[in-house]
Amino acid sequence: QVQLVESGGGSVQSGGSLRLSCAASGFSGSRYCMGWFRQAPGKEREAVAHIDTDGTTRYADSVKGRFTISQDNAKNTVYLQMNSLKPEDTAVYYCALGAGLCYAVSHIRLQMDYWGKGTLVTISS
């Protein structure tokens, strides 16, 4: 059974930083795409950043230059370093994993087979 366990959410002021972590277990595939989505109140869930086993990364335009995704393959863990946070980054952040190399951002949600429970990120102005 695949499990994704997120950690690192919290509350910071605008301009601050947070780092999210997501540890995966139970996945047996040799190639996968793993990363983060977010959902703000009243809005659709959107892709934020993803990385695959080849090291290819995908970022939403809204976070490019501010967020960095990385991975520790030995620990099956991905990290999302979020800098220069803005109030509009406030959302529940979900970790997700899907088989194969990452699709384009516009289709990446379709690729995801497994989801974490989410962690809340709140940015105050």
pLDDT in tens, 36-47: 999 999 999 999
pLDDT at 80: 98
Instruction: Give CA separation, 81 vs 8, 10, 72, 107, in Å.
Output: 10, 13, 14, 23
Sign of CA dihedral 105, 76, 94, 38: negative
98 vs 90: CA distance, rounded Å: 25
Amino acid in position 11 = S
Per the structure block, which two tokens stand in for 115? 């989801």
Report the chain's C-alpha Rg in angstroms: 13
* Sequence-ordered strand ranges (E) for 1-125: 3-7, 10-13, 18-25, 32-39, 46-52, 57-59, 67-72, 77-82, 91-99, 114-115, 119-124
- The two beta strands, 119-124 and 10-13, are parallel
Q: What is the pLDDT along the chain (125 residues), one digit of tens a residue?
A: 999 999 999 999 999 999 999 999 999 888 999 999 999 999 999 999 999 999 999 999 999 999 999 999 888 999 999 999 999 999 999 999 999 999 998 999 999 999 999 999 999 99
